[in-house]
Structure 1
Amino acid sequence: MDFKYETAVTLAQVAEAAGVGESTVSRVLRNHGSFSGKTRDRVMAAVERLGYVPNRIAGTLASAGSRLVAFVVPSLSNIVFADVLRGASSTLEQNQHQAVFAVTDYDPAREEALVASMLAWRPAAVMLAGYEHTQGTVRMLRAASCRIVELLDIDGVALDLAVGFSNHDAGCRSAHYLLQRHYGRIGYVGHDLERDTRAGKRYAGFCETLSAGGSPLVDREIHAGASSVENGRLGLERLLTRSPDLDAVYFSNDDMALGGYFHCLARGISIPSQLAIFGYNGLDIGRVTPQPFSTIRTPRVATGQVAAQLVVENAPAQVVDLGFELIEGATA
């Protein structure tokens, strides 16, 4: 069967069908400028009848008012970044901005390539996770004519806007909590600390605080890949095989901690009397386990909301510290 491809309906065709000028159609579709209610009804009826789809990219290139906001995030399998996008999306939509996103898989070189691709669309803003980028990415971002927002971290020097909290302080606070409860043989289970630089900052703060308190980290198990429930379970199993007398384990996040929790259930390890577990992020699943997690709750949705608001307001360069909350829970 032969298929016939129709050419796209143009703005001129909508204007002719509505009996108005192209500039009037443009004003109606952008909801900007003066036009009567009857004119709007005629234009929208023509749009619906003809199936017209506005060329937003052409509009962006023809003016300085881009409505695209590009998110370049490490992962979407990690609910943290989905929560940030969820928080940002409502604010952006209310202000007629459109979010687009790309996923780096924690690869700095891939982040650089994706930032280059996103900047080619001339977005109003580019939002990225953290402060650590390749030199090429930094050069492109500094030369860009859009707002730059670095998310979920404030430990460093921001390029423009930054919204988040101190990962280093979160690690310090987690260690201080365990020391206060007299845990003295503490281990760590985590994922790739070089790629996930925010996890690396938490780990550094955690170890510094343990050492200052006279109980340095006993052992650690680092999975080379991404965090997951399965890797948390396997990581704790390996750690306890080497160091069976640990009395507490700090996990890089709640996904990993959940795997550790399952390992303890399977092996009959009593929590927290035999082994305390402490996580990070304050995910809902950790709150509804039989023993709610001891963890740090991070303001992920609020991070997206505040970041989006700063962009639509064209706020001056600044760093916004949203802080974090320690949840005592029942696992430590």
Structure 2
Amino acid sequence: MQTATLAHVARLAAVSENTVSRVIRNKGPIAEETRRRVLAAIEQLGYLPNRAAGALASSSSLIIGVLLPSLSNIVFPEVLRGIHAGLADTLYQPMIGVTDYDLDQEQRLLASLLAWQPAAIITTGFEHTQASRRMLANARVRVAELMDIDARPIDVAVGLSHRSAGVATARHLVSRGYRRIGYVGHDWTADRRAALRYEGLCQGLQEAGLSLVAEQRFDGPSSTLAGRDTLARLVEGDASVDAVAFSNDDMAVGGFMHCLAAGIAVPGRLALFGFNGLEIGQVLPKPLATIRSNRFLIGRVAVEKLLESGERSAEPQVIDTGFEIVAGATA
């Protein structure tokens, strides 16, 4: 059987080979009917584009490099679902690397991805090594930094203001009548966004003439177990705390489990407030009060913005996908 070529696709779709190439690379204006005919011809013929040759000819490929801190944390698989949704009607494919919150690992993965001449790079947050920042700044590709908008991006930032989310947490708790508010968190070394939410929480309390009355941080990554044990230490140290803001929902769910085991009434004796809006928090005996971030939307919007143009804008762009307070029943 003869292998299908670009010329075969063009003949079947009744277009030029250049038009087929532009559809494959998603470059330039293409009428929707033309795009549909070309994609139908590709499917009918089983045509496989020569990605390597395309990369050599156009100085870019159909790869979108994606660097995520983790795939075990449910937050980032949801971002990845959004990225896949944004790519669904294109011929671009994600090439995924997991950094484990290690900036040196991000640098190594980034160098490897850039060697493939990707059409774009998606990273998480604004924290990079100097070498990574130089590579991203100098690369001839679009760059999206996700999850955070509290700094100036290299090209495009898509996410939410974590400092504003912290302020909103404080205002919500104060509006519910809580005055002796504590904080339970995890290590900030690799999680700048948690630190920003903490800063916002303190700012919001200061606006109300208040400050944190107690705080405990776990020396390691967030987990339900860490949340349980860290809340136990906090309430043992200050039994007068009437509400606790957690660095995220994982920690808050663990805190809720401690309250169940210790017979601490929630929210009657102690209010609990998380961050992320994870499903696990909403299936507790009392749904968790929290802030929901739009993780799927972040991934999808990032891809759509990157594919709008192959050129960076003169000024970096910031896209705020916002957040919402979930009142729940724990605060």
Give the TM-score range, shorter chain.
Answer: 0.7 to 0.9
For 1:141-167, what per-residue CA distance to the aligned partner results, in whole angstroms no more than 9, with x for missing partners?
001011000111110101101111100
Shift of 1:43: 8.4
Counterpart CA distance in 2 for 1:134 and 1:32 is: 40
Judged with a 3 Å threshold, the aligned counterparts in structure 2 of structure 1 residues 24 and 264 are, in CA distance, closer, same or farther, namely same
For 1:241-298, what per-residue CA distance to the aligned partner results, in whole angstroms no more than 9, with x for missing partners?
2222211111111111111111111111100011100000111121222211111111
Partner of 2:294: 299
**Structure 1 residue ranges without an equivalent (≥5):** 1-13, 48-52
Q: Match of 1:32, as an amino acid?
A: V
Q: Secondary structure at the match of 1:290?
A: coil
In the TM superposition, what are the counterparts of 1:282-297 in structure 2 within 5 Å? 282-297=277-292
Residue from 110, 117, 139 that aligns with 2:105: 110
Residue from 253, 256, 259 that aligns with 1:261: 256
Partner of 1:44: 45
Partner of 2:25: none
Partner of 2:26: none
Q: Match of 2:163, as an amino acid?
A: H
Residue from 137, 140, 145 that aligns with 1:145: 140
> Larger deviation: 25-34 or 107-116?
25-34
Judged with a 3 Å threshold, the aligned counterparts in structure 2 of structure 1 residues 235 and 121 are, in CA distance, closer, same or farther, namely same
Shift of 1:44: 3.2
Partner of 1:217: 212
Judged with a 3 Å threshold, the aligned counterparts in structure 2 of structure 1 residues 41 and 199 are, in CA distance, closer, same or farther, namely closer
**Structure 2 residue ranges without an equivalent (≥5):** 22-33
Q: Match of 1:309, as an amino acid?
A: E
Q: Match of 1:70, as an amino acid?
A: G
> Larger deviation: 118-127 or 236-245?
236-245
Partner of 2:321: 322
Whether 1:239 and 2:227 are equivalent positions in the alignment is: no
For 1:178-219, what per-residue CA distance to the aligned partner results, in whole angstroms no more than 9, with x for missing partners?
112221221111111121001110011101222332221122
Is the 8 Å Cα contact of residues 153 and 167 (structure 1) preserved in structure 2? yes
Is the 8 Å Cα contact of residues 92 and 312 (structure 1) preserved in structure 2? no
Q: TM-score, normalised by structure 1?
A: 0.85
Q: TM-score, normalised by structure 2?
A: 0.85
In the TM superposition, what are the counterparts of 1:62-211 in structure 2 within 5 Å? 62-211=57-206
Counterpart CA distance in 2 for 1:202 and 1:42 is: 48
Counterpart CA distance in 2 for 1:99 and 1:76 is: 15
